[in-house]
Structure 1
C-alpha cells in the first residue's frame, strides 16, 4: 500500500493595515505654503496694516489719538512743498535707475560674454562685491574727501591747470547724491542682469552670427530682449532702494535737497507719527504703481 504524506498547509494571517486619510493636492499645497504665509503675515502684512491704521489717527505735540481723520492725507497731498519733495525723489530715482541700468548692463555683459572661464568670472564678480563688506554709511562718507573743496578731484584739476578755483558743486549737491547712490546700488542691477545673461543659450548668438547679423544686431535683437527680465528685476531693486533712502540725501546734499524718506524721518523725530504714516502709505502706493508698470512691460516669472 502506498501512502501519500500530506504536508500541513499553513495559511498566512493578513494583518489589517491602518488607513490614513489622504490629503488632496489643494490641501497639501496650502499646508506647504502656511509657514511662509504666516511669516509674511506677521512681519510684512501686519506692520503695513498698522501703518495704514495709524495714518488716519490724530496727533498733537505730545501724543497720538486713535481716530479716523483725513487731515494727514490732506496735508500730504495738498501741499506744494510735499509735491516738490515727491518730484525730487522721483528725479533721484529716475537718474540713478538710468545710470545703474547702463553701467550694470555693460558690467554684466563683460562678465558673461568676454570672460571665458567660470573661475575668472567668479573672481571678478567677488571683486564687485568687496565694497559691500562695509556699511552703506562708510561707503557714502568715503566720497566726501574725494569731492570736497580740497578733495582729490579738485586738487587734481587745479594741479593740471584745468580750473583756477575749486569746483563747489561736486559735494553737497544733487550730483553728489546721485553719484553716491549709483555707487551704493549699482551691484543690485549687475547681479540679476548677469544671472539672466548667463542663462542665454549661446547657440542663439552663434545662429544669429551665422545668419549674417552684425555684433550690434546680435546685441540689440538677441541679447537685450533676452536680458529684459534681469533688467526689470534690477530696476525694481534700485528704484525701491532709492525711494526709501534718506541718509544719502541728507549727508551728500548737505541738507540742501529733500526726499520723501527724509521728510518722514524728520516727522518721526518730531513725534508726528500719523503724518509720517500717511506719507509712507502714499510712497508705498507710488512704488507699487511703478513696480506694476514694470511688470506689465516685462514678464519676470521666468527668473523667479
Structure 2
C-alpha cells in the first residue's frame, strides 16, 4: 500500500508501493546478512586459501577440497559422523515420540502437562559439558554400573565398553538431544483435534490403528522438525565425541577442531563447507518428504 506525504508547497507526493515492504524487511535482512550470509561467505573464501604451519595466504587453490574429498580417512570420518547421527536420531525419535504422546494424550490436565514438560527441561538448566561428564562416574570401570554388576555376580570383572566407546558417545548424545525431539512432536500432537481420535474409535479402530493411521501421520511435521534439530546438532558436536570416546572415535566436527588447533584454517573451512552441503542435502530430503511449513 502506497503512502502520501505533503511537501512545503502543499503538493502531495506518493511513496512507491514497494517501499514500505522493503523497509519492514530491511532489519531482518541486515541481521541475516551480517550474522549468517557474511560469515558463510568468509568461510567459503578462506576454504580456497593456501596455508603453512604459521599462517594463511590469500589465494585460489583447490587442494583443500581435493584433500578432503580424496582421503579415505576423511570419508571414514564422515561415515562415522553419519552413523552417530542415524543411531541418535532413531533413539531420540522413539523416546521423544512416546514421551510427547504420553504428555499430549494421557495427561488430561493442562497444568500437569506443563509441569511434566518443565520437568523434562530441568536438565537444560545445567551446561551440556556437565551433563555429559556426569556419565563418567556412572559408566567408568569403577563406576556405579560396573560396581553393581560385579557385586551382584552378573559379571566377574568390570565391563570395559561402557565408557570411552561409541556406546558412551551415543548414550551421551541421546541424553543431550532428546528434548529437541520431544518439543516439536509435543507441539504437533497438542494441535491434533481430539475429535478425530474419538471418531476413529467410534468407527471401530483399535488403539494401534488410531496411532498408526491418525496420530503418526499428523505428527510427521513435528518429527521432521525434531529430526532436523537432532541431526544438525549431532553432526556439529565435537566435545561429546572427544570426551566420551576417550579419543578413540572421530567426527567431522572434531576433525575440524583439530585442524583449527593446528592453524589449518583453510582445510577446516573446506571441511565446514562440505559438511554444510551435506546437512543442507539431508534437510532438503526431509522437506521433500514432509511439509513443515504449517508448523512454523
Could you tell me how far 1:139 is from its partner in structure 2? Answer: 0.2
The aligned runs of 1:257-296 (5 Å cut-off) are 257-296=249-288
Match of 2:117 among 105, 125, 142: 125
Could you tell me how far 1:161 is from its partner in structure 2? Answer: 1.3
Q: Within the alignment, does 1:70 sit opposite 2:62 as a pair?
A: yes
The aligned runs of 1:165-184 (5 Å cut-off) are 165-184=157-176
Could you tell me how far 1:19 is from its partner in structure 2? Answer: 3.8
Could you tell me how far 1:22 is from its partner in structure 2? Answer: 4.7
Match of 2:134 among 118, 137, 142: 142
Could you tell me how far 1:156 is from its partner in structure 2? Answer: 1.1
Match of 1:48 in 2: 40
Q: TM-score, normalised by structure 1?
A: 0.93
Match of 1:21 in 2: 14
The RMSD of aligned alpha carbons is: 1.2
Instruction: Give unmatched runs, 5+ long, in structure 2.
Output: 1-8
Could you tell me how far 1:62 is from its partner in structure 2? Answer: 0.6
Residues 16-67 of structure 1 show CA distances to partners (whole Å, capped at 9, x for unaligned) of 987462552x433222111111100000000000000000000001111111
Whole-Å Cα distance in 1 between the matches of residues 236 and 291 of structure 2?
25
Residues 67-123 of structure 1 show CA distances to partners (whole Å, capped at 9, x for unaligned) of 100010010000000000000000000000000000000000000000000110010
Match of 2:76 among 80, 84, 94: 84
Whole-Å Cα distance in 2 between the matches of residues 23 and 157 of structure 1?
76
Residues 268-299 of structure 1 show CA distances to partners (whole Å, capped at 9, x for unaligned) of 00000000000000000000000000000000
Whole-Å Cα distance in 1 between the matches of residues 201 and 156 of structure 2?
52
Instruction: Give unmatched runs, 5+ long, in structure 1.
Output: 1-15
Match of 2:3 in 1: none
Match of 2:6 in 1: none
Equivalent residue of 1:115, what SS?
A: coil
Match of 1:297 among 260, 276, 289: 289
Match of 2:224 in 1: 232
Q: Against the structure 1 CA distance between its residues 20 and 193, is the aligned structure 2 distance closer, same or farther, given a 3 Å change threshold?
A: farther
Match of 1:253 in 2: 245
Residues 117-157 of structure 1 show CA distances to partners (whole Å, capped at 9, x for unaligned) of 01100100010000000000000000000000010111111
Whole-Å Cα distance in 1 between the matches of residues 103 and 15 of structure 2?
50
Match of 1:213 in 2: 205
Q: TM-score, normalised by structure 2?
A: 0.95
Could you tell me how far 1:180 is from its partner in structure 2? Answer: 0.1
Structure of greater Rg: 1
Residues 228-272 of structure 1 show CA distances to partners (whole Å, capped at 9, x for unaligned) of 000000000000000000000000000000000000000000000
